[in-house]
Chains A and B, each alone.
Chain A
Amino acid sequence: MAKAKMLTGCRASAEGAKAAEVEVICSFPIRPYTAIMMELAKMVANGELNAEFIHGEGEHAQLSVVLGACAAGARAFTGSSGVGVTYAMEIYSPMAGGRYPAQMAIADRTLDPPGDFGSEHTDAMCTRDNGWLLGWACSPQEVYDNTLIAYRVGEDHRVMLPQMVCQDGYFISHIPDKVVLGEQSQVKEFLPPYRPISPLSLTHPVSHGPQIRPDQGAPMDAQRAQTFLAVPKVIEEATADFGRIFGRNYDPFVEQYKLADAEIAFFIMGAHANTARAAVDRLRKQGVKVGMARLRWVRPWPTHQLAAALGHVKAIGVVETSTSYGGAMRGGNLIHELRASLYDLDDRPLVTSFMGGLGGETIWPADFDHMAKVLTQAVKEKKVRNYVQWLGM
């Protein structure tokens, strides 16, 4: 096996795209994801990657360029952060509806105002209902791996959907960590070339995206919903294959850390899971029966897998790194879907949430101690006192 290199998440993302031999790349600068494009620009300039590198005039154009490229049969790659992600909002739906399996790398950043470079998941979470596959990594290695896994899943003919491969800005995107890059033979075995379905062609004329009548809309929506039911199996296959070929094994949907005998658990995604793991170890030494569940895919949301992983726990603290102002639980996004996922259990865990890491704040080990205390108290009182509380204030 190749030796590990110290790479940032951005570099790992670019290496993943290079390994996937992406053919059309569209860039626009915004921190912190920019470094991904800087790396790819060098690879194209040096002749390491046979691709068209296009300077989009904004994120809306970035998405539009890769949509066109994908429709014409190319494997396409783009990316963004923060308000860049939301500037492109119009194009997410046509991209998914047109079944163009291009990939977007996201290094999460807060939305304005005020201007803040810090990491926060709200940017990509805003797009979650537009029909993309949406997954989060918690290390540069996982960024590299998810880049390949997402292409394999998205381009599968049972799926044909665009993918977002997200990483927390700075915490992952700019802090080097050990990354083992795949051998060309491994990548070749894992990721077949993109096989477009009815691409724009001179020999077989096709029409992409004509107008439909209102009565044709629901069947198409239903077909997409049906596709999403089939995606989990494809993700499972791809993740298992990835483990077999590359020797790195992931739980396809939920990393389960010391959950088996846990009474309380943190439910989290992204970079802060690394702190959570350390906190679990330390709290365990103090006799607290705590575990962690880390979400790897937000779309498709792993409803049953979460019920299976967390159903036995008595109280769950959702660590929210995105906002849902005025939402049912008055805090972030994840708690809504987690509570819904557990609703049909006979013996439901208590679920509360903690707003943390907003604006790029660090979630400290002491914050996890506090969360464990709140959860232990909830178990004792058999109820949660709040839907949400804000950490560090």
Chain B
Amino acid sequence: MQAFDYKYQQLEPVKSFKRVPGPEMYVPGHRTCAGCGPALNYRLVAKAAGKDTIFIGPTGCMYVANASYLCTPYAVSWIHAQITNAGAVASGIEAAFKVAMRKGRHAGPFPNIIVMAGDGGSVDIGLQAMSGMMYRNHKVLFICYDNESYANTGIQTSPMTPYGANTTFTPPGKEIPEGKTLFPKNAPQLVIGGHPAVKYVATTTIAHPLDLMNKVRKALSQPGPTFLHMLCPCPKGWKFDEKMTREMARLAVETGMWSLYEWENGTYNYTNVPKKYKPVNEYMQHQGRFAHLKPEHIAKMQAFVDEKIKAVQRPIPVAAAVPGKQ
């Protein structure tokens, strides 16, 4: 392919809250629950990305509760995708803009193409399309807004639902007292471990808004595919007081249930690492989805987290070789 300047956008980091861009791109019109983590997340992402953006919204809460006919909350272009195929639809949009620019129909800038997928639309039923997009090196930011369940259909377990959670597909009972018996997938590692075209992956939460916005801007400034994993607590699904949404995300980091990091060209950079992790129960006790658990189940969760946070001290080397740093 001959070199062509597609005029990719470069978004400078936002230094402080005072310098956060003013214009809102996620505006009134949605009808999400009070205290909705994903809605708060959407607002921050859209604000960070700015007006030259196209969102792809696969089916999930952020489709069903957001995008009502004649009343969508997007000030930028947005398209629905099936829960299965966001990565592929995004690939097609990106390809169309490349041809349009080569043929002079679109002068630029190249749009920020962002997939806003739930955990199911990312690493469960949407995994194949996401992986295909990343493998093919499309310039697309794929965001997994993780509320740890299929929430809009009434809180069913997803591969991101934590061990021990009570969901409508994992109800605790006499035979299965802990509810969910499996441990979740590691979403960023699925991306990092198998997609040589991806050079930037990061995790964040809605309790860290500046960090979140800057990771969005950094991801969008890369020339290829990128992935952000964002923890978005869900009051309805996790059964906590809706005014504690941000608090839940903060506690997740303080207990080691969630870690903030960037992975760039093969190197991990962890931030907000607690000097001393709080016990996981300080996070779990606020959430009705864990209310049925016995001490041995909480101990099992603690052991899982203890193992996981070892990686924070000693980042795991990446399985796939990463060719040359930029």
Contact = CB atoms under 8 A, between A and B. Distances in A.
A210 B80 contact: yes
Interface in B59-96: 63-64, 67-72, 74-82, 84-85, 87-96
Nearest to B109: A202
B88 A64 contact: yes
Interface in B84-121: 84-85, 87-100, 102-103, 105, 109, 111
A200 B109 CA distance: 14
Nearest to A66: B92
A206 B79 CA distance: 8
A95 to B, nearest CB: 11
Interface residues of A, number: 43
B93 A68 contact: yes
A97 to B, nearest CB: 10
B96 A211 contact: no
A106 interface: no
B54 interface: yes
B132 interface: yes
A283 interface: no
B89 to A, nearest CB: 4
Nearest to B79: A208
Contact of A72 (B76, B97, B128, B136): B97
Contact of A210 (B52, B67, B89, B94): B67
Contacts, number: 158
B72 A210 contact: yes
Interface SS majority for chain A:
mixed
Interface in A53-78: 54-58, 60-62, 64-74, 76
Contacts of A208: 77-80
A349 to B, nearest CB: 44
Given A55-B136, A65-B89, A209 B79 contact: yes
B128 to A, nearest CB: 6
A69 B88 contact: no
Nearest to B130: A57
Contacts of A211: 63-64, 67-69
Interface residues of B, number: 49
Contacts of B128: 57-58, 60-61
Nearest to B86: A64
A23 B85 CA distance: 21
Contacts of B54: 72, 200, 202
A64 B68 contact: no
Interface in A73-128: 73-74, 76, 90-91, 94
Contact of A68 (B84, B96, B132): B96
Contact of B92 (A26, A60, A205): A26
B102 A50 contact: yes
A148 interface: no
A236 to B, nearest CB: 31
Which of A72, A94, A211 is packed against the most chain B CB atoms within 10 Å?
A72
18 contacts: A50-B103, A54-B92, A57-B128, A57-B129, A61-B91, A65-B92, A68-B81, A68-B89, A69-B93, A71-B89, A71-B92, A71-B93, A72-B96, A76-B92, A200-B79, A202-B52, A207-B67, A207-B77
**3 closest A-B pairs (Cβ-Cβ)?**
A68-B92, A209-B80, A64-B88
Given A24-B92, A57-B135, 5 more contacts: A52-B95, A61-B87, A68-B79, A73-B105, A211-B67
